[in-house]
Amino acid sequence: MKTIRDMDRIILASASPRRRELLKQMGLEFEVMPSHVEETITRKIPWEIVMELSSQKARDLVYKAAMDSISEVKNEDGDGSNILVIGADTIVAYQNEILGKPKDKADAVRMIKLLEGKQHSVYTGVSMVYLKEGIAQTRTFVEETKVYVAHMTDEQIDRYVDTGESMDKAGAYAIQGLFAEFIIKIDGDYNNVVGLPVGRIMRECIFS
């Protein structure tokens, strides 16, 4: 059986600095090869959407790896190298409304007004594709974390949005940043809200 620490090469199919940092915390060496696949959404339920998108990203990088002959690299035993591609996608959902990255400040304010004083869910879909000598095995899962946000005044919302922190974040906030002031509690994996449930990845990355 092969675990993530047995891989000769790990490829993260994401340019997210937060996902990079989370993988680094696990003591893993990896490469960043962002997927540029055109995302196609055919699902409507939040957890199904992240499953679909993470799979698209991982498959895109597996194809590129094969085309670039990455799978021909040999390990110390002379066998074909063990390559793991990790694709991930995170969304914020409130009552099944998907909250992506805000278009502008007004959109960020709208999103936070939806979330303040309420509970919402953060879903991350993860697809791990293990490639060995041209044969691929896949593990895919979805992690959900429930986030409870305190009541916020209009002044607090405007002040937070003015910091600029919300502009490149799904749901218009960063739990690991200034928005932590307004988090009452979470149910589930904190790292999942940041962008990557690394604990579950470490546990479930087992291939034959």
Q: What is the pLDDT of residue 69?
A: 44
What are the distances in angstroms from CA 176 to CA 6, 79, 118, 120? 30, 42, 19, 17
| Chain centroid to CA 8 | 22
For this structure, is 77 an active site residue?
Answer: no
Residue 158's contacts (CB-CB under 8 Å, 6 or more residues apart) are: 109
pLDDT at 73 over 50: no
pLDDT at 4 over 50: yes
pLDDT classification of 65: cutoffs 50, 70, 90: low
- Pick the catalytic residue: 6, 89, 104, 187? 89
* For residues 171-199, average pLDDT: 97
Percent of the chain scoring above 90 in pLDDT: 62
Number of domains in the chain: 1
Q: Which domain holds residue 116?
A: 2-207
Q: What is the pLDDT of residue 135?
A: 82
Domain containing 85 — which CATH number?
A: 3.90.950.10
In 3-state terms, what secondary structure has residue 12?
A: strand
**Contacts for 197-200: CB closer than 8 Å, 24+ residues apart:** 197/124, 197/126, 197/143, 198/22, 198/23, 198/25, 198/26, 200/126, 200/141, 200/143
Q: What is the pLDDT of residue 76?
A: 47
Does the pTM surpass 0.85? The reply is yes
pLDDT tens digits for 75-117? 444 445 788 999 999 999 999 889 989 999 999 999 999 999 9
- Measured between alpha carbons, how far is 106 from 90 in angstroms, rounded to an integer? 22
